[in-house]
Chains A and B, each alone.
Chain A
């Protein structure tokens, strides 16, 4: 037996995105706004990021999480933790499990804010044995910082993007020596000061153009095999390896709902008002684009709240949309649907290759809509943005809009 309940808005996921959305909605007084999260504590990923770098003031993750929670609860949103949304019973009705029992919650609008995770070793198809000592940054942070578990003595970090350097910090705090950061790219992708600090102060080299091609060791990891782009191979002895970055949206609920997904982001396809192709279902945060900084997703949450509020009052839902498609080396763009009544203010993109001053060319059915050159470089695993001032030129009945590096 499931307890059946009705709310005005159900937000799934109490990370920075979901909490900001709930705070905005509750502040606007739209009625009953409920946020559920499957973890025992609200706050999402920042809960276990003990390092600084969150929000405008660069506070620590837990401080930032606490602040997001306080903002949502302070405005009157109902926050329930330890509640997992496990399935859909109808387009706007979900089933949940918690220690207090099973529920079936129906809402006028559902907001998916389920976040993103790092791809683990298996998903990256790294061959070899299956020893202990293999982590993602997310697991490492929880193990070392929240649970104070023993990690190991010497680690290799896979990746050299911003999150890889936070893994480095966590390892050092846990007393683990770091042999190297390994990236397949020709350069690291963090801010220069960050990488310089790692190299000069802590003597950690960044091995570029290199991939981890094998894990070695029985029971416990004993080393990793590396291959350089030019074919050279090497063995690095270590008892710990951390697979960082390579984020993928936690899109299970979106898929189970049968929502249209974007092939680039692998998250639900949304328009500028965070609307999926399922009436009444919104999505916000890193489930749309894995992964952006917390501050950016919280800002989205505020915008999403406004979009949900409007929907609750006028009931409008676009019936048609134009898809956005990127060409390599671009990996994705978000938002990735254009609907006539809600053009996005700006788009976020990802590239898989470095470009010093990337030129973007946006076309539809062979017609150039926009051409622009960015003054900032495009860096893999880092956002770069383009303004949305060209969307008025899109033909709403035309084919997909294509975005390429010129």
Chain B
């Protein structure tokens, strides 16, 4: 089991190499690792897994009720949701089945609800139903005035996106996958039976190749001579509100999509906060993850309509993620048999949900291109540290603290993260590559004070961990 952050890639020929350790690439690596006998590499340009779009989304486990019926996305979202719900329960990834309401605020939106209900049916989702204004208000007492009705989609859930990617990656590495971080693939050439991947750290040889490079999937595709699609980043800015706002909202409040656009949502998070967003802006820079004054102002205006009291609460974070949109309303997954290569492109705004189904689909495609797959085995289950508020966190567990007092020593007060959890994260199978990585693994520094109280101590712990060679 290996996580390699520096030095030349191992001098071996891998059976399969996956480019990109986002939620999709890690899911693919994990799925492949279930087949004994394969030598697998997962290569990632950043210093950690999940550093791309997978860390910055709205963290909803979708039912796929509103996908384009008959599309690949529709099928993979539906299958992915079912798989991930089971996997999450097994692995300790926090999921809360809070359900969603699509609230109509004007006649046009109200008129769109029955069509959405019909669409849900066509997507094989049968639990949705229409609610009148009184019922909507009863279900969401803090809603702003003027809600005319809603579509109730009880199957929508919230999930921890950070833990999901980390769980896949951890399980993959434990099952023998080599994870190569700080390793950007710049060129691909071929030498007989193998692809040669030129990275900043040397050359890597692999027989089969999976491109899960997210926003850069088009670039990697071109390295292999294809020109099938172009990724146009669509930025989504989001505001995270303080935990004290959590009681204001019970469901995911989804916008009703109309001709005028998609609108923004208000959703609780499994970490106990409330999200407002995202915007949808076409940008031409694949690294444009900054936020803007206009974006924040627009979100606040919309949020005020949906949940007026939300705006009185403190903001703990503002961030942006980039959707990997293409000119088609579907995923762009394709196999190139002669090249022993599969592209996983255009995984836009549902990739977290669909990840496990995408992985299964990609594995089948690889088999179709000739990869010899042995029968899958059950890999050793992982049990991830719990970051969810709906489940007991270590600071509330007398048994854990009695066995190890470090779980009673709260370091980050706003998020109640203990020294024991920070220590564990620094010594884990995939240790964080930066204090930011530690934040995504523990929530340390993720709260309302953003480090006023604990920032220096968390950094101290991180640096000490890194010195010991574990970080």
Residues of A within 8 A of B (CB): 1-2, 38-39, 82, 84, 86, 97-102, 117-123, 125, 127-130, 132, 135-136, 138-139, 142-143, 146-147, 149, 213-214, 218, 248, 252, 255
**What is the chain B residue whose CB lies nearest that of A216?**
B290
Known: A86-B395, A120-B449. A100 touches B314 (CB 8 A): no
- Determine if A99 and B405 form an interchain contact, defined as CB atoms under 8 angstroms apart: yes
Residues of B within 8 A of A (CB): 240, 244, 287, 289-293, 295-296, 314-319, 395-396, 398, 401-402, 405-406, 408-410, 413, 416, 435, 448-453, 455-457, 459-460, 463
User: CA A138 – CA B408 in complex, angstroms?
Assistant: 24
A36 to chain B, nearest CB (A): 12
Q: List 24 A-B contacts (CB under 8 A).
A: A2-B398, A84-B395, A84-B413, A86-B396, A97-B410, A98-B409, A99-B406, A102-B401, A117-B452, A120-B450, A122-B317, A125-B315, A128-B290, A129-B289, A130-B289, A135-B451, A136-B451, A139-B451, A142-B455, A143-B456, A147-B456, A147-B457, A147-B459, A149-B459
User: CA A329 – CA B450 in complex, angstroms?
Assistant: 29
User: CA A138 – CA B453 in complex, angstroms?
Assistant: 7
- Determine if B453 and A120 form an interchain contact, defined as CB atoms under 8 angstroms apart: no
The total number of A-B Cβ pairs within 8 Å is 110
**What is the chain B residue whose CB lies nearest that of A136?**
B452
Name the A residues within 8 Å of B453 (CB-CB). Answer: 39, 117, 138-139
Name the A residues within 8 Å of B395 (CB-CB). Answer: 84, 86, 97
- Determine if A122 and B316 form an interchain contact, defined as CB atoms under 8 angstroms apart: yes
Name the B residues within 8 Å of A117 (CB-CB). Answer: 449, 452-453
- Determine if B459 and A138 form an interchain contact, defined as CB atoms under 8 angstroms apart: no
Q: B452's contact among A101, A139, A147, by CB below 8 Å, is which?
A: A139
- Determine if B289 and A101 form an interchain contact, defined as CB atoms under 8 angstroms apart: no
Q: Is the interface of A mostly helix, strand, loop or mixed?
A: mixed
Further pairs besides A100-B408, A138-B452, A255-B244: 17, Cβ < 8 Å:
A97-B396, A99-B409, A100-B405, A101-B402, A117-B449, A122-B240, A122-B316, A122-B317, A123-B448, A125-B296, A130-B289, A135-B455, A139-B451, A142-B455, A147-B456, A147-B460, A213-B293
- Determine if A86 and B450 form an interchain contact, defined as CB atoms under 8 angstroms apart: no
Name the B residues within 8 Å of A118 (CB-CB). Answer: 452
- Determine if B290 and A98 form an interchain contact, defined as CB atoms under 8 angstroms apart: no
Most chain A beta carbons < 10 A, residue from B316, B396, B452 = B452
User: CA A101 – CA B293 in complex, angstroms?
Assistant: 45
- Determine if B450 and A121 form an interchain contact, defined as CB atoms under 8 angstroms apart: yes
User: CA A132 – CA B435 in complex, angstroms?
Assistant: 9
B187 to chain A, nearest CB (A): 24
Name the A residues within 8 Å of B290 (CB-CB). Answer: 127-129, 214
- Determine if A82 and B296 form an interchain contact, defined as CB atoms under 8 angstroms apart: no
- Determine if A122 and B318 form an interchain contact, defined as CB atoms under 8 angstroms apart: yes
Q: Which 6 A-B pairs have the closest CB atoms?
A: A120-B450, A99-B405, A142-B456, A143-B456, A139-B455, A138-B452
Name the B residues within 8 Å of A128 (CB-CB). Answer: 290-291
Known: A38-B410, A136-B451, A143-B455. A123 touches B402 (CB 8 A): no
A154 to chain B, nearest CB (A): 20
**What is the chain B residue whose CB lies nearest that of A40?**
B409
**What is the chain B residue whose CB lies nearest that of A139?**
B455
Name the B residues within 8 Å of A149 (CB-CB). Answer: 456, 459-460, 463
Name the B residues within 8 Å of A122 (CB-CB). Answer: 240, 315-318, 450
- Determine if A142 and B457 form an interchain contact, defined as CB atoms under 8 angstroms apart: yes
Name the B residues within 8 Å of A38 (CB-CB). Answer: 410, 413
User: CA A248 – CA B410 in complex, angstroms?
Assistant: 22
B465 to chain A, nearest CB (A): 15
B329 to chain A, nearest CB (A): 30
User: CA A98 – CA B240 in complex, angstroms?
Assistant: 29
- Determine if A86 and B448 form an interchain contact, defined as CB atoms under 8 angstroms apart: no
Name the A residues within 8 Å of B460 (CB-CB). Answer: 147, 149
**What is the chain A residue whose CB lies nearest that of B237?**
A127
Name the A residues within 8 Å of B451 (CB-CB). Answer: 120, 135-136, 139
- Determine if B401 and A97 form an interchain contact, defined as CB atoms under 8 angstroms apart: yes
- Determine if A84 and B293 form an interchain contact, defined as CB atoms under 8 angstroms apart: no
User: CA A218 – CA B396 in complex, angstroms?
Assistant: 37
Name the A residues within 8 Å of B316 (CB-CB). Answer: 122-123
Known: A99-B406, A99-B408, A136-B450. A127 touches B295 (CB 8 A): yes
- Determine if B408 and A98 form an interchain contact, defined as CB atoms under 8 angstroms apart: yes
B449 to chain A, nearest CB (A): 5
**What is the chain A residue whose CB lies nearest that of B435?**
A132
A167 to chain B, nearest CB (A): 12
Name the B residues within 8 Å of A123 (CB-CB). Answer: 314-316, 448, 450
B49 to chain A, nearest CB (A): 18
B466 to chain A, nearest CB (A): 13
Most chain A beta carbons < 10 A, residue from B292, B448, B449, B456 = B456
Name the A residues within 8 Å of B413 (CB-CB). Answer: 38, 84
Name the B residues within 8 Å of A213 (CB-CB). Answer: 293
A388 to chain B, nearest CB (A): 29
User: CA A37 – CA B316 in complex, angstroms?
Assistant: 24
A166 to chain B, nearest CB (A): 14
- Determine if A125 and B409 form an interchain contact, defined as CB atoms under 8 angstroms apart: no
Name the B residues within 8 Å of A125 (CB-CB). Answer: 296, 315, 318
Name the A residues within 8 Å of B408 (CB-CB). Answer: 97-102
Name the A residues within 8 Å of B240 (CB-CB). Answer: 122
User: CA A158 – CA B295 in complex, angstroms?
Assistant: 23
- Determine if B457 and A82 form an interchain contact, defined as CB atoms under 8 angstroms apart: no
**What is the chain B residue whose CB lies nearest that of A130?**
B319
Name the B residues within 8 Å of A129 (CB-CB). Answer: 289-290
Name the B residues within 8 Å of A130 (CB-CB). Answer: 289, 319
Name the B residues within 8 Å of A2 (CB-CB). Answer: 398
User: CA A38 – CA B418 in complex, angstroms?
Assistant: 12
Q: B410's contact among A1, A84, A143, by CB below 8 Å, is which?
A: A84
- Determine if A86 and B456 form an interchain contact, defined as CB atoms under 8 angstroms apart: no
- Determine if A101 and B398 form an interchain contact, defined as CB atoms under 8 angstroms apart: yes
Most chain B beta carbons < 10 A, residue from A97, A98, A123, A132 = A97
